[in-house]
Structures are given as C-alpha cells and as structure tokens.
Amino acid sequence: MKASERVRGYRTRQRAAGLRLVQLWVPDTRSRRFAAECRRQSLLLKQDPAEAEALEFIARTGAWEDRAPR
C-alpha cells in the first residue's frame, strides 16, 4: 500500500469520526528573524508601565495561599 493510500484512508476515517483537517502556517521559531522580533517586542514591553502593572496583577492573583491542592 502506497503512503498516499494510507493517508487517504486515515483521512477518510477521521472524517467519518466527525473531524476535519485544518492546516496552519505558523512562524518558524527557529529563524533569526523570529528571535529578533521577539526581542524587539520584549524590549517595548519592558518600557511599558501598563506591562509592569499587568505583571504585578498576575503575581498577586497567582500566589493565592488558600488554593485547594491539585
């Protein structure tokens, strides 16, 4: 059985199970361009007073002492 036939069968079974194929293009996290853009955005946020406020809020609300154990 050829690979294309196996793939076709697999996709047919998935569709019969009520699923549909979704393909996405996502950024290549290995690229230098991606790393540079992450750094650029991080530096912008580092200087933003609203970001500091948001991080303080997250720290306060994420440190509840009375949470039930998981």
Cα–Cα–Cα angle for 9, 11, 15, nearest 5°?
Answer: 115
pLDDT band at residue 28 under the 50/70/90 scheme: very high
Query: Would you give the DSSP letter of residue 31?
Result: S
Mean pLDDT score of the chain: 91
pTM: 0.52
